[in-house]
Amino acid sequence: MFIERGDADISRVFRRREKRDERHMLAERDLMPVATVATLSGKRGELVQGCTSGGIDFLCAMPFPLPATVRLRLVAGRDVITEPLDFPKTQRLVRRLLDDTGLFDTGALLRFRLSEKIGVGCGTSSQTMQLAATALAGAGFLSITPALLGPKLAAVEPCDIFPANGALLLWNFKTGTPLSEPAHLPPGAYVAGYPIDRCLITDEVDKSRPVYSAEQLRIYDAIHEHFPALLRAGELSRVGEMTATSADINQQWFPRGEVAGLRRLRARGDIDGYFVGHSGTVVGAFSSDPDRQRWLVREFSRVVGPRYDIAAFVQDADSRGVPFLNAAGRSLIRFVS
């Protein structure tokens, strides 16, 4: 169920604080010398997301070179504070990680800078949790790999994963475990966007989780089996068949009118595939031709209409050997339609 809200309502939903609680007013003496910074590339929606007949819940996040950053500082006491918004799941995770490492009388102050709106399918909740864990690892308090961190994230909530360097990974979002080796994003032009005045509240998503038919489970069996190999081979046309199928199945629970226009573009052979935020408002598309970025942005903007936050980038043979945020970020286009 998509929720349309004004700015004032959205701020209440996400508990934007106008002034700090007294316990958040940290005296200078409470600050510890340990401070770290961590940055992660973002995501917009999922290329695929579903469940196999054997009960494996999987997704493959669609990376975007839109960074999120956290500055972490350890503090005396047990409070874990996030600014400028309260992120209770991140606070809970950090408290557990500190306790796991024996830092029972140490808390943390985390200041986030996000590139994306909350509640649209960009995985901001998972992103802030992973950023916090990455910052703690940078301070030398824990080891961090997707295999080690994933179960800790999943214990807080079903989670996305943000692999290093914009990699693609089939991921079990219920258990927090990898289902494939990381793969490079195939060369091409990629675009995705979300409406600036609509969001999908997590509590509403939880009331409408998909219940797949036997036929849909068989389709997801095939996607689960073949999708990683197609990504590694860079076969964007066949990848596009699977991303479009996953998006179309998801329409039954979270319908978006924009998908019909993207479906027409693919039927004409103008794009290789389209995708959605399976529990968000994101829609996106891609072409295997990196030189078609501006055409893709123009056609995508026409399909989704006004008041969309749209971003697009290019991945090509040269950029694959350079860090994703730098390489793909150089071609990044972002605007509100």
130-169 per-position pLDDT tens digit: 999 999 988 887 777 767 789 999 999 999 989 888 999 9
pTM assigned to the model: 0.88
> What's the pLDDT band for 8 if we cut at 50, 70, 90?
very low
Give the pLDDT of residue 146. 65
Q: What is the mean pLDDT of residues 281-305?
A: 97
> Can you tell me which residue has the tokens 């936050």?
309
Give the pLDDT of residue 207. 67
54 occurs within a structural domain: yes
305: alpha, beta or left, given left = phi > 0 and alpha = psi -120 to 50? left
Task: Answer yes or no: are the C-beta atoms of 275 and 267 closer than 8 Å.
Answer: no
First-to-last C-alpha distance (Å) of the chain: 23
152 occurs within a structural domain: yes
Task: Answer yes or no: are the C-beta atoms of 16 and 84 closer than 8 Å.
Answer: yes
Give the pLDDT of residue 128. 96
Domain count, the chain: 1
Of 31-45, 213-227, 260-274, 279-293, which range is least confident? 31-45
Residue-number span of the structural domain to which 293 is assigned: 3-17+30-336
24 occurs within a structural domain: no
CATH of the domain at 219: 3.30.230.10
134 occurs within a structural domain: yes
H helices of 62-183, in order, are 88-100, 124-138, 146-156
Q: What share of the chain is helix, strand, coil (3-state, %, to 5)?
A: 40, 30, 35
